[in-house]
Amino acid sequence: IDFESISSPDKTTRDNFTLFISKLKTRCRTINPNCEVDIDIFADSARRNRLYDLSSLSPIVDHIIVMTYDYYRKASSQAGPIAPLRGACPKPSGFSEIMDPPEGCLEQDITTNLSEITAIVPPQKLILGVPFYGYEWQTTSTEFLANTYTGTGALASYQRIRDLFSDTTISSLSATWSSTTMSPYLTYEIDNETRQIHYEDPRSLELKIKLINSANLGGVAIWALVYEVPYLDIWQPISDYLRAQ
């Protein structure tokens, strides 16, 4: 069940969503005793007022897929990692979640968000959602977290990213690994514009798979299948993980 409300719901709305999931699970089990009901949640659901009352939903659902992606989006004012494993700044005393993080730091990262969620939900119930895509922006420079030009953000599938490496119409293509966020990004020039893409590759996904094992999470989910075709190397760390189960 995938309800992705971005509003700040009141208690009645949250309670009604929990009631809906509870009734759905009960009804489904009367039809098929093996029925499973899973839900998707935003990665920041333990720290912000979201639709999901995790403490109430946890005993009801079989799994919770944590959508640990879109930390930066198409409309972001900076080009940044879509699924940063690390990189969040320590939160100073009195820091509000609605404030911008200090310069050079991220507001959130996957490791921090999972730590918050596992304080409420057993880790075995959590499925780590990983992206087979990134985002591309026109930027003011090639620097990490460079400012973006409004309206230039676009989804870049893994296929699109890999195709760029053989595109003769672009110049100055440079791939960089961020040791801060444990994820890659690339910059290039085209039509006298600087562009930057933050994305996932086999190396960054391997680190996320290791997190699944070390944190004793329930598994991995992907958004979205066929974004990678025909470049199947991104499946390698996931295949290795499945063979080890």
Span 132-148, pLDDT tens digits = 999 999 999 999 999 99
Please report the pLDDT score of residue 89 as a whole number.
Answer: 86
Q: Write the pLDDT tens digit of every residue in 147-201.
A: 999 999 999 999 999 999 989 888 889 999 999 999 999 999 999 999 999 999 9
pTM recorded for the entire structure: 0.92
Please report the pLDDT score of residue 242 as a whole number.
Answer: 86
With beta carbons less than 8 A apart as the criterion, state whether 78 and 91 touch. no
With a cut of 70, list the residues of the chain below it in pLDDT.
91-104
Helix (H) or strand (E) holding 42: strand 38-42
Backbone angles phi, psi at 244, to 5 degrees: -80, -10
H helices within 86-139, ranges in order? 110-118
- Tokens 């990134």 belong to 134
CA distance 136 to 156: 6
The alpha carbon of 141 is separated from its chain's Cα centroid by a whole number of angstroms, namely: 25
* Tokens, residue 116: 């918050």
* CA distances in angstroms from 156 to 48, 77, 136, 186, 228, listed in the order given: 28, 17, 6, 12, 10
Please report the pLDDT score of residue 98 as a whole number.
Answer: 47
CA dihedral for 49, 54, 57, 61, sign (positive or negative) = positive
